[in-house]
Structure formats: C-alpha cells, structure tokens
Amino acid sequence: MNDNPENKIEQDENPVEESLSPEAEMALDPEATLTLSEAERRQLELLDANNRAMRAQADLENYRKRVQRERQQDSRYALMPFLRDLLPVVDNIQRAIKAAEENQEAASLLEGFKLVEQQLQSALLQHGCEPILAVGETFDPNLHEAVSQTTSDEYDAGKIVMETAVGYQLHDRVVRPSQVIVSTGSKE
C-alpha cells in the first residue's frame, strides 16, 4: 500500500460519486417523486377550484340579469289581468253608445256614455294599452281572431272586412285579439 500523500490527493480529486442534478436526485429519491406529483396534484386542484369559482361567478351574474329582466317584464305587464277584466266593460259602453245613437230620446244619456268611453280610452292609452288596428288590415293570427269569412268586392282576400270586437295590446303583448271577419275576395 502506498502511503504517498500524492496518491491520496489524486483519490480526493476523483471522487467516487459525482454530484447529480436536482432532477436526477429526485428521480433516485422516491419521496421526492411523491412530493413532485403531490405539488402537481395540488396545482391541478387549484386550477379546478379557480374554474369552478369563475363559473359560479358567471352563473350568479347571469341569474342577476335574468331576475332583473323578469322584474322589468313583470312590472311592464302587471296590468294585463286587470285589462282583461276591464275590456268587457269598454265593449258594453260602446254597445250602449251604438244603441243610444239609434234612439233619439236618449241624447243626454248618449253624451254621458261618450264622455265615459273617452275617459276609459285615454286611461288605457296612458297605461300603454292600445286598440289593435283591424278593418282594412291584412289578417294576422297573432293579432286577430277570425270569426268568419265573407266575399267582398271592396277588400282583397286576406284583408279584414269588419271588426266584431276591438282587440287591445299592452305595449307589445296582445291582451285580447280583435275578433274579425276576413274577406275571401270578390265573388268572381
């Protein structure tokens, strides 16, 4: 055996184990590998939780917008049931006016009914309830209800000849469709 100090130095300069990169050390150490996969798992869980939180926030915002829209529509069309109940009264007043016009003895009564009808019509208009135009218009099943058909030389086929009951709409919704008689065209 050589106790030469120079040999000893040579042995120290060439160590048996070389230093490894951190990745190589983790690959050799099973606990380090578990820690890396644990960190990756935690990162994925964090991303998933962030995605869920963002979706929940978006759902909440959509819900708020939908509720606000529904509230606006509810307030806009809140009068609909009342108007449906009131329209037969308007019809009866109009019938009374027509009957009074035929009877000359009821002239003062006729004037009173005309004033009441004007007040009702202006109140309806003030709240966005307007009569649906019918006579001379093209039949629209969304606005009109056909009660019958008749031949007409004055109106083309599909046009409304006569209105038997006035229809009304509140803003853009039909409260009651107009009941109409539709032309089938001329007899020829």
Residues 37 and 95 reside in one and the same domain: no
162: part of which helix (H) or strand (E)? strand 160-165
Residues 69 and 156 reside in one and the same domain: no
Residues 34 and 115 reside in one and the same domain: no
Interacting residues of 116 by C-beta distance below 8 A, sequence separation 6+: 93
Instruction: For tokens 């991303």, name the residue.
Output: 47
Can you give the pLDDT at residue 58? 93
Q: What are phi and psi of 162, to 5 degrees?
A: -150, 155
Is residue 9 one of the residues assigned to a domain? no
Residues 58 and 143 reside in one and the same domain: no
Is residue 15 one of the residues assigned to a domain? no
* The amino acid at 143: L
Can you give the pLDDT at residue 75? 80
Q: pTM higher than 0.85, yes or no?
A: no
Residues 144 and 71 reside in one and the same domain: no
Q: What is residue 153's DSSP assignment? A: S
Average pLDDT estimate for 118-134: 86
Residues 125 and 92 reside in one and the same domain: yes
Determine the structural domain holding residue 39 and report its residue range.
23-76
Number of domains comprising the chain = 2
Is residue 153 one of the residues assigned to a domain? yes
Helices (H), 77-172: 80-102, 107-126
When computed from its CA atoms, the radius of gyration of the chain, rounded to whole angstroms, is 43
Is residue 18 one of the residues assigned to a domain? no
What's the CA gap between 122 and 129, in Å, rounded?
9
Residues 87 and 173 reside in one and the same domain: yes
Residues 88 and 177 reside in one and the same domain: yes
Is residue 159 one of the residues assigned to a domain? yes
Domain CATH number, residue 100: 2.30.22.10
Average pLDDT estimate for 87-103: 80
The upper half-sphere exposure of residue 125, i.e. CA atoms within 13 Å in the direction of its Cβ, equals: 8
Residues 103 and 139 reside in one and the same domain: yes
Residues 112 and 173 reside in one and the same domain: yes
Residues 168 and 111 reside in one and the same domain: yes
Can you give the pLDDT at residue 57? 93
What's the CA gap between 126 and 14, in Å, rounded?
102
CB 162 within 8 A of CB 127: no
* pLDDT reading at 157 higher than 90: no
* Orientation angle between helical segments 80-102 and 107-126, nearest 10 degrees: 160
What does the pLDDT look like over 158-185, one tens digit per residue?
889 989 888 889 888 888 899 899 988 7
Residues 131 and 177 reside in one and the same domain: yes
The dihedral formed by the CA atoms of 62, 63, 68 and 69, expressed in degrees to the nearest 10? 70
